[in-house]
Structure 1
């Protein structure tokens, strides 16, 4: 027979106890929430890759979108299970408006947050703003800006990727043409 010291027995008992505790905790904890809806391929009619939108949307059962507009601003609110979780806007500003100016009036992002794209984009974990490049059709007296904010923190890199993709899509959309022909987005 082998003689097991008191120290060895305590180690074995502690190890078995830790394993039992982990097993009980795992079996009693609920599974993490899941996304039961299909991630949309557009934001109120503006095509955006699902891979860019997906990290910004939380789990839930149902997603819907509510577009609104007023002079110089078009908004899209995305709701999951009836709660606004993401809001975008397309905003017309004067030609001399800077990315910091737009960020200072946007929710979820500050002028001092991380900059990208040669200073045309500012982003954080909860929001972003970016200049929309309107090739050949933009008014010389105004600029078009895309903004996004979420009701929850996301990876800042996901926010950056989304705003860049969204601003690029807007640059190819009717929003740029509307800016030059009608004077509002």
Structure 2
């Protein structure tokens, strides 16, 4: 076995011990300050991103509300200046929610109750589907089925029993057409 000789260790003075401890503390404090500075900059960056997104959201909501108000004004101007066509009234009723002010307006203008309009909404939705069906159809087929009638006048045309019989007879010959 090898022998290990321990040399006598130098004895440091109190001043030297204090200087070594102080330099270690200074180094660790410097590293702590740098770490705190980096964390502070990172937090400031994240707060900047958060603040920016909150401001964007608030501005977007405000702009959306202002645009909705302007849109409401435009709708009123359009309603007061130009009467709605039958197709527009059908489309509006078909798409409106029962709590929508438009339904209350239609009820007031037509003399019906909102409950009466609720039953008419299902009819309006069906009418909207039929109007879309005829609108998507090519001119030749539409002319054979309903003559020169277009848009909501198709319903008036089909009220005539002779026209309806002709419509169903011609429809039965069009095998590729699904009604």
Which structure's relative contact order is higher, taking Cα pairs within 8 Å and 6+ residues apart? 1
Tell me which protein shows more helix as a share of its residues.
2
TM over 0.5: no
Q: Larger strand proportion, structure 1 or 2?
A: 1
The TM-score range, normalised by the shorter chain, is under 0.3
Structure having the higher Rg: 2
TM-score (norm 2): 0.27
Instruction: Output the TM-score relative to the length of structure 1.
Output: 0.26
